[in-house]
């Protein structure tokens, strides 16, 4: 596994070096945040009355020095009563998803920054767009988060001969799976994402080839594959809690043959089998990205009030009336098979499962599946996901870990990201209220620093107005 970390590190250092040279060219003045409370989720540490000096794109020092020691020309931000934490990562997004979300560059990318999301893991998208954005963001030409991406997802054809999603590459045989992995490697992707319809033998071939190519493999547990096989194949992250309830069921074979139902699933859970499976996940440190915000939304999709959505102002009519409506219509028949009460029970079990895995030492990442998830709005939804982790039994600081120190650890970039420490890249969020008292306080953003670039509240509000204008333009 170490080699994966090394590759990630090289990638991010290349990005960091590019932005460093830019910052030096522009000779950005130092910034001193004084009297601030620093929160480092990774070490569960909270230190009051710090002076944090930023120089160029990185954190120069974190100390208890008096403000009189700050560099002469530094811009001083009085951090009294404020809380400084690492920038957030959304570890499951689709920022460039075929033709589903037009104007993503002007809407999705700034919404992340405006919400303190300074890094994202793109879990299925178009390489040309994502590679271009990544370059433009690191050059300071456009505003957006750091992006690591899979490029197109490996998927199989549906019975109607079509692929379910855009940004997908069809794999039908082991040979085509190997060819797809090799082609993605040549296109410069950071990892391989698998979707649900990949056949059993093709999945195993893809996992083997990804390992040979030094690319992590992440994503779904394909319909024909068991969770324990995915763990054995070395898959690094599992999305949406896939496979766990099936593997806890005494009737797992039925589900693998595509004959299960939600009622059967919930009625056949075996606690002892389940404990063993959770233990296996902990032992292999198979990361879980439960995407609870979207799980909740999807579970109760038939109750969604399309007319009264407070964040509608950031959503183009096309996303809502075409993309999301079409996606909702495609899911509704399946959803309606199960009464709302059964679905509510399933969602409650999801929260309980996350809590049980967490207590057993299974590692977690915050991810939202924005924007394909209906009304899972970029940036805003990550804060909902943090609250979901608390609802599942995490302490607030453990919830913060899933979006700060854990992503850095997962990506092998802890040397530069994931904490507020001297020498790290200055991706930071300054909050008006203490998120450890109430996790919802992560929404009370005073300022965001992205690669040392300072966006105060007024600047963030301007950014949001820009998104509103872009959403109105894009019918």
Shortest Å, Cβ 294 to Zn ion: 8
Shortest Å, Cβ 187 to Zn ion: 19
Closest CA to 400 of 37, 129, 45: 45
d(Cα 137, Cα 118) in Å, to the nearest integer? 11
Shortest Å, Cβ 123 to Zn ion: 5
Nearer to Zn ion, 114 or 123 (CB): 123
Shortest Å, Cβ 362 to Zn ion: 20
Nearer to Zn ion, 193 or 343 (CB): 193
**CB-neighbour burial class of residue 341 (10 A; exposed 0-12, middle 13-18, buried 19+):** exposed
Nearer to Zn ion, 75 or 164 (CB): 164
Nearer to Zn ion, 40 or 368 (CB): 368
Q: Does 126 bind Zn ion (CB under 5 A)?
A: no
Nearer to Zn ion, 281 or 376 (CB): 376
d(Cα 396, Cα 384) in Å, to the nearest integer? 13
- Please identify, among the stretches 54-62, 83-91, 157-165, 362-370, the one whose residues bind Zn ion according to the rule CB under 5 A: 362-370
Nearer to Zn ion, 133 or 165 (CB): 165
Please identify which residue in 126, 223, 252, 369 interacts with Zn ion, judged by CB under 5 A. 369
- Please identify, among the stretches 148-156, 188-196, 365-373, 451-459, the one whose residues bind Zn ion according to the rule CB under 5 A: 365-373
Nearer to Zn ion, 209 or 369 (CB): 369
Sheet holding 146-149, edge to edge: 88-93, 117-122, 146-149
Count of residues binding Zn ion (CB under 5 A)?
2
Contacts of 88 (CB under 8 A, 6+ apart): 115, 116, 117, 118, 119, 366, 382, 403, 404, 429, 442
Shortest Å, Cβ 222 to Zn ion: 14
**CB-neighbour burial class of residue 248 (10 A; exposed 0-12, middle 13-18, buried 19+):** buried
- Please identify, among the stretches 176-184, 212-220, 363-371, 427-435, the one whose residues bind Zn ion according to the rule CB under 5 A: 363-371
| Angle, CA of 158, 164 and 165, to the nearest 5° | 155
Q: In the stretch 284-323, what mask flags binding to Zn ion with x, by CB under 5 A?
A: ----------------------------------------
- Please list every residue from 318 through 357 that binds Zn ion, using CB under 5 A: none
- Please identify, among the stretches 146-154, 194-202, 361-369, 422-430, the one whose residues bind Zn ion according to the rule CB under 5 A: 361-369
d(Cα 398, Cα 405) in Å, to the nearest integer? 10
Query: β-strand 287-289 against 75-78: which pairing, if any?
Result: unpaired
In the numeric block, which tokens belong to residue 180? 């797809």
Shortest Å, Cβ 411 to Zn ion: 18
- Contact yes or no for 19/451 (Cβ under 8 A): yes
Shortest Å, Cβ 301 to Zn ion: 16
- Please identify, among the stretches 154-162, 296-304, 368-376, 435-443, the one whose residues bind Zn ion according to the rule CB under 5 A: 368-376
What is the helix (H) or strand (E) element at residue 19, kind and residue range? helix 2-26
Closest CA to 1 of 322, 323, 411, 370: 411
Nearer to Zn ion, 57 or 369 (CB): 369
Shortest Å, Cβ 378 to Zn ion: 13
Nearer to Zn ion, 385 or 427 (CB): 385
- The SS3 call for residue 92 is strand
Shortest Å, Cβ 462 to Zn ion: 30
- Please list every residue from 94 through 123 that binds Zn ion, using CB under 5 A: 123
Length of the chain measured in residues: 475
DSSP code per residue over 212-252: HTT--EEE---TTS-HHHHHHTT--EEETTTTHHHHHBTTH
d(Cα 463, Cα 314) in Å, to the nearest integer? 11
- Residues in contact with Zn ion by the rule CB under 5 A: 123, 369
């Amino acid at each position: 596994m170490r080699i994966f970390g090394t590759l990630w590190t090289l990638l991010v250092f290349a990005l960091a070096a590019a932005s460093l040279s830019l910052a030096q060219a522009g000779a950005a003045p130092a910034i001193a945040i004084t009297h601030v409370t620093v929160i480092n989720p990774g070490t569960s540490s909270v230190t009051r009355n710090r002076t944090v000096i930023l120089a160029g794109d990185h954190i120069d020092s974190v100390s208890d020095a008096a403000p009189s020691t700050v560099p002469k020309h530094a811009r001083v931000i009085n951090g009294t009563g404020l809380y400084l934490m690492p920038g957030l990562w959304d570890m499951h997004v689709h920022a460039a998803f075929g033709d589903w979300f037009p104007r993503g560059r002007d809407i999705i990318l700034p919404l992340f920054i405006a919400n303190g999301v300074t890094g994202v893991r793109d879990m299925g998208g178009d390489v040309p767009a994502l590679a271009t954005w990544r370059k433009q963001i690191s050059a300071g030409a456009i505003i957006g988060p750091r992006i690591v991406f899979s490029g197109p997802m490996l998927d199989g054809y549906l019975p109607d001969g079509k692929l379910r999603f855009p940004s997908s590459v069809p794999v039908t045989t082991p040979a085509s799976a190997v060819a797809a992995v090799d082609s993605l490697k040549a296109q410069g992707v950071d990892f391989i994402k698998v979707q649900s319809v990949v056949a059993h033998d093709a999945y195993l071939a893809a996992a083997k080839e990804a390992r040979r190519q030094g690319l992590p493999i992440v994503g779904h547990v394909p319909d024909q594959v068991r969770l324990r096989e995915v763990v054995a194949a070395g898959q690094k992250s599992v999305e949406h809690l896939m496979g766990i309830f099936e593997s806890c069921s005494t009737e797992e074979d039925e589900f693998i043959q595509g004959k299960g139902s939600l009622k059967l699933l919930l009625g056949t859970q075996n606690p002892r089998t389940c404990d063993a499976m959770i233990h296996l996940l902990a032992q292999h440190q198979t990361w879980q990205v439960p995407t609870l915000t979207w799980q909740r939304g999807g579970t109760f999709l038939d109750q969604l009030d399309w007319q009264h959505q407070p964040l509608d102002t950031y959503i183009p009519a096309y996303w809502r009336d075409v993309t999301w409506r079409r996606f909702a219509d495609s899911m509704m028949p399946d959803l309606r098979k199960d009464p709302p009460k059964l679905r509510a029970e399933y969602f409650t079990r999801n929260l309980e499962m996350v809590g049980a895995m967490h207590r057993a030492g299974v590692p977690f990442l915050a991810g939202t599946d924005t924007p394909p998830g209906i009304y899972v709005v970029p940036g805003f939804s990550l804060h909902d996901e943090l609250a979901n982790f608390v609802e599942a039994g995490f302490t607030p600081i453990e919830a913060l870990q899933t979006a700060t120190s854990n992503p850095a650890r997962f990506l092998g970039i802890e040397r530069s990201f994931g904490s507020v420490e001297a020498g790290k890249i200055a991706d930071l969020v300054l909050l008006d209220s203490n998120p450890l008292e109430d996790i919802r306080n992560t929404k009370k953003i005073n300022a965001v620093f992205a690669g040392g670039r300072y966006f105060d509240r007024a600047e963030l509000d301007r950014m949001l107005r820009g998104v509103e204008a872009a959403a109105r333009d894009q019918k």
